[in-house]
Chain A
Amino acid sequence: MLSYILRRLLYAVPILIGVNLLTFALFFVVNTPDDMARLQLGAKHVTPEAIDRWKVEHGYDKPLLLNERAPGSARFTDTIFFRHSAAMFAFRFGKGDDGRDIGNEIRTRMGPSLAIALPVLLIGVLVNVTFALLMVFFRATYLDLWGVVVCVVLMSISGLFYIIAGQYFIAKLWNLLPISGFAGGIDGFRFILLPVLVSVVAGIGSGARWYRTIFLEEIGKDYVRTARAKGLSEVRVLFRHVLKNGMIPILTGVVVLLPLLFMGSLITESFFGIPGLGSYTIDAIQAQDFAVVRAMVFLGSFLYIVGLILTDISYSWVDPRVRLR
């Protein structure tokens, strides 16, 4: 298995280079370093000298991909792409345009992102699986029918609506929880309750329907019929046998998400004032801070790859037939 993991990690290197190159190309197709300097320096009293100084200060005074004036390998290394990209493979992200260390920001913001994303994932999976199993238990009855209708209704509503409605009713009208904000330690609990609740409710529709489909597929298989023939109760059949065998597709969806939890949620964090990585990314895109955007895309890609590897490993754990070589 170790050689499999190492091989997969090595495969990740060209993928990450490709992602980096693509981000770089997309960003600089619409922005020149001069544009970035002007945006950062503001609208007043911006001179060409000030723009040049900003570019030097932030390392954007070199050619983008190819330095024709440089000798030898420096033609490729003495460029904006190489200078800003090579260090990332050692997870040194440099500084944002506001001068703050990106690595430090990521470390600081990971906690708040996880504080929301982890409970949302765990509670969400628990609620969705339970709801789905109940629908399967009552399949082909009015309870199943109305359960699906509720799921479709929940799926059809925009995520933003849940946030606004949650804030309006729970925080503003009923004064039950703070409308937004964040705090460390035990005091932070009351700040995360509302975003977690809203995110879980927003995810029930799609999650429960998906799991219902998985369980319905399982429930028609021979081993389920055998279990029933043995005289096992329906609850036992569902929770002991169907749930266990339905874990493989559930793991596919969940394990791949685990590393990405660090990246936070863009909209939720912004609306609830959570100082996580989601809002960091949104801010960087709005401010055209290439250093941060590139770092976050790189980190996102890396974590996605890690998530895929973890998914493969988890397959071998839950299904003895799967062997990684």
Chain B
Amino acid sequence: MTRIGTILFRAGLLAIGLALLTACSDNWNNPYPRSEARANVAYSAFSERPKHLDPARSYSSNEAEFIGQIYEPPLQYHFLKRPYTLIPLTADAVPKPRYLDASGRPLPDDAPSSAIAESVYEIHIRPGIRYQPHPAFARDAAGRYLYHSLDSAAMAGKTQLADFKHTGTRELVAADYVYEIKRLANPRLSSPILGLMSEHIVGLKALGDTLEKAVKAHPDAALNLNDFPFAGAEAVDRYTYRIRIKGKYPQFIYWLAMPFFAPVPWEADVFYAQPGMADRNLTLDWQPVGTGPFYLSENNPNRRMVLKRNPYFHGEIYPVDGDAADRRAGLLADAGKPLPFIDEAVFSLEKETIPYWSKFLQGYYDSAGISSDSFDQAIQFSAGGTPRLTKSMRDKDIHLVTTVAASIWYVGFNMLDPVVGGLSEDRRKLRQAISIAFDYDEFISIFLNGRGIPAQGPIPPGLFGYVDGVAGLNPYVYEAHDGKIVRHPIEMAKKLLAEAGYPNGRDARTGAPLVLYFDTMASGPDAKSRLDWMKKQLDKLNIQLVVRGTDYNRFQDKMRRGNAQLFEWGWNADYPDPENFFFLLYGPNKKVANGGENAANYDNPEFNRLFERMKDMDNGPERQRVIDAMLEIVRRDAPWIFAYYPKSFGLTQGWVHNVKPNLMANNTLKYRRIDPALRATRRAEWNRPVRWPIALLAGGLLVAVAPAVIAWRRRERKAA
């Protein structure tokens, strides 16, 4: 062997020895430091790096998973109560709006919507709440901010927040909430809800225009929002602020539970606006500053994100009021105990499902979703169709958590299309026939492994207005049979199709076959079977379906222009109110005419009238009656094929406690409790290294090399 070869060989041996040495008293496959083995740390994964952590910009669930634990809007959802109930978070009570007429005079609570010119929400926050430790708050003995006027020399060597020696905190004040509402109008932030909120908050649009002019005039100058007056929100005193809403908008209360309305300290904006900060990725978009139970101590979206317990957290207790089912599930065992339970949460980037699933089974993640690859390994269905864990999962004390999402998937008909659109009786019958033909019970069974419920209307379960069971069925597609909901027979669909002018799928006048076009973003081999299934559904009616697969941008473009005929789409609830689903069918929200969210371009004057009434009503029997009437209209008109409400399945390890899916709340990490000792024991048990393959490999190498060595020696001897 040459000298270099010898060195490399020895280095290799040393490296392997070192690796084995570091792992010798631990599980060799443990991806975490040994010091964390019994720490009160929660472990989970994220598959997509967050784009924004600024509360004014963030609007994705994968981002909310982080900022929901850091920022505190005034309200939150009760962890256990269903239907979803708003409770105070930093506020001392859930605010009730005061109504004013056009001349500013107070109106009674039951004043008609038409008389209400403005709704005023006055929110009192609790004193004594403090921000997480952060260098933006650090001051010297004279009270001057230490890090608000840094030059390039002072920034040298600073690449992360931990490089700033001093940190500070301060009390949360009402002005911080007002400041954040102003930030929604900052053109440099491109808040996704600016357009929507400008329609509702007094003066927000004007503020946005003013700020835009200021930015254009001084493109490089920092924007001090405190210098700009704003009529829509004001701090009344240190702990009280007021928001003015145009007209009546009862759903606004739900927005007050979202991070968009969480407080942001002006000091943070000043700190991050300094030269050199953005080049080091030190921005509010990446380094949040909040009052919540956790703060982001490590932000490396390429590898892992770490949340640590906020030492200044104001304190909160685990809810004491839950129902009997919660008690049975052990969800009230920690009632009244101080939150949060865990000290730290580590989120590791895991893009591929195989390592993610394997690590969960090895105990290195506390919870996991179930991908289609691992579904059969984890879940089996009983004879009655109830999902349960497989024996191997039960043996590991893994628990299944299921919930129906506050979402709907639907196939929309473009109501502007000359073939399938319009409100005439024959078009209605055509859409109803197609709705019957699409057997979504079968779809859920084949493609979703049972993870869905056939939809009966636009409102998913768990929201006010949803009626469970036979009483809530869509009579145009389903019927009751022995207390069960079953789809109408296909003969009924054929009859409706004939009445619509297409007997046996052919135009009664011309004899031409009916050809429909389906636009979808699904493409590739995975989608093929699903699209073939869709064609098969219409084959039942002798209708030809042409699938037009396209990418996201082209699909959006077609929808904006109204060039689609049938299309597939979905919606996740922003808040638990039926208005958030019915508005997708409200005429003035038509996508083609007004750029709204009504992608089907459905416009029924009667439905519109009822919507305008329903959206301002409080939940109660009267609102339910209006909702029932609206459901009847959309079911009859069938602008959508109501496909399914997706059901999510999640798994948790036996050492994880207080897990109850809450589709509205994004701050539930504080309720989670883990048993680190049990976890350490199970990990050790599940991950004992299997050493014989190493011996086998060494032996195999010897067996392979030995004949070569023998042959070489023989040849050398022969040559000599």
Contact = CB atoms under 8 A, between A and B. Distances in A.
A30 B279 CA distance: 30
Contacts of A137: 712
A99 B22 contact: no
Interface stretch (B24-32, B64-72, B289-297): B24-32
Interface centre among A54, A189, A273 (most CB of B within 10 A): A273
Interface centre among B188, B285, B351, B712 (most CB of A within 10 A): B351
Given A57-B188, A99-B283, A179 B597 contact: no
Contacts of B60: 42
Contacts of A270: 351-352
Contacts of B228: none
B195 interface: yes
Interface centre among A98, A103, A143 (most CB of B within 10 A): A98
A172 B358 contact: yes
Interface in A93-124: 95, 97-101, 103-105, 108-109, 122-123
A270 B302 CA distance: 11
Contacts of B285: 98-99
Interface stretch (A32-40, A253-261, A305-313): A32-40
A108 B159 CA distance: 11
B689 interface: yes
A57 B223 CA distance: 14
A174 B690 contact: yes
Contact of A186 (B18, B52, B352, B574): B18
A193 B23 CA distance: 13
Interface stretch (A9-17, A43-51, A79-87): A43-51
Contacts of B394: none
Given A138-B708, A176-B29, A275-B349, A44 B286 contact: no
A25 interface: no
A99 B52 contact: yes
A189 B15 contact: yes
A190 interface: yes
A44 B192 contact: yes
A126 to B, nearest CB: 6
A191 to B, nearest CB: 7
Interface in B290-308: 300, 302-303
Nearest to A232: B719
Interface in B3-43: 5, 8, 12, 15-16, 18-19, 22-23, 27-31, 33
A235 interface: yes
Given A44-B574, A179-B359, A190 B303 contact: no
Interface stretch (A67-75, A163-171, A213-221, A294-302): A163-171
B281 A39 contact: no
Given A137-B712, A174-B690, A46 B8 contact: no
Interface in B268-291: 278-281, 283, 285-286
A143 B711 contact: yes
B325 interface: no
A41 B192 contact: yes
A222 interface: no
Nearest to B351: A270
B22 A186 contact: yes
A233 interface: yes
Contact of B302 (A54, A109, A176, A177): A109
Given A137-B712, A271-B355, A280 B196 contact: no
B286 A99 contact: yes
A182 interface: yes
Interface residues of B, number: 72
A275 B23 contact: no
B49 interface: yes
Nearest to B693: A174
A193 B28 CA distance: 12
B694 interface: yes
B192 A42 contact: yes
B335 interface: no
Contacts of A177: 28-29
Contacts of A47: 194-195, 595
A53 B18 contact: no
Interface string B336-369: 0000000000001111101100110110000000
B556 interface: yes
A179 B12 CA distance: 21
A50 B194 contact: yes
Interface residues of A, number: 76
B553 A50 contact: no
Contacts of A35: 553, 556-557
Contact of B689 (A30, A105, A174, A180): A174
Contacts of A97: 51
A239 interface: yes
A319 interface: no
Interface string B606-649: 00000000000000000000000000000000000000000000
A279 B5 CA distance: 33
A183 B707 CA distance: 41
B193 A45 contact: yes
Given A38-B556, A275-B302, A171 B690 contact: no
B110 to A, nearest CB: 30
A191 B688 CA distance: 18
Contacts of A30: 551
Interface string A262-305: 00000000111101000110010000000000000000000000
B252 to A, nearest CB: 15
Contacts of B190: 41, 50, 53-54, 57
B351 A181 contact: no
A235 B713 CA distance: 11
A134 interface: yes
B325 to A, nearest CB: 33
B52 A98 contact: yes
B188 to A, nearest CB: 6
B227 interface: no
B270 to A, nearest CB: 18
Interface centre among A45, A101, A233, A270 (most CB of B within 10 A): A45
B382 interface: no
Interface string B545-562: 000000111001100000
Contacts of A57: 187-188, 190
B687 interface: yes
A178 B12 CA distance: 19
Contacts of B279: 101, 103-104
Contacts of B574: 44
Contacts of A187: 22, 33
Given A143-B708, A186-B18, A175 B351 contact: no
Nearest to B188: A57
B227 to A, nearest CB: 20
A186 B348 CA distance: 19
A324 interface: no
A45 B689 CA distance: 52
Contact of B22 (A45, A190, A235): A190
Contacts of A141: 711
Interface of B: 2, 5, 8, 12, 15-16, 18-19, 22-23, 27-31, 33, 49, 51-52, 59-60, 187-188, 190, 192-196, 212, 278-281, 283, 285-286, 300, 302-303, 348-352, 354-355, 358-359, 361-362, 551-553, 556-557, 574, 595, 597, 687-690, 693-694, 707-708, 711-712, 715-716, 719
19 contacts: A38-B556, A41-B190, A44-B192, A57-B190, A108-B302, A122-B8, A123-B12, A137-B712, A141-B711, A174-B689, A175-B688, A175-B690, A177-B28, A178-B29, A180-B352, A186-B22, A189-B22, A234-B716, A283-B49
Interface of A: 30-32, 35, 38-50, 53-54, 56-57, 95, 97-101, 103-105, 108-109, 122-123, 126, 134, 137-138, 141, 143, 164, 167-183, 186-187, 189-191, 193, 233-235, 239, 270-273, 275, 279-280, 283
Q: Closest 8 CB pairs between A and B? A: A275-B302, A47-B195, A35-B553, A180-B355, A174-B690, A181-B31, A178-B31, A275-B303
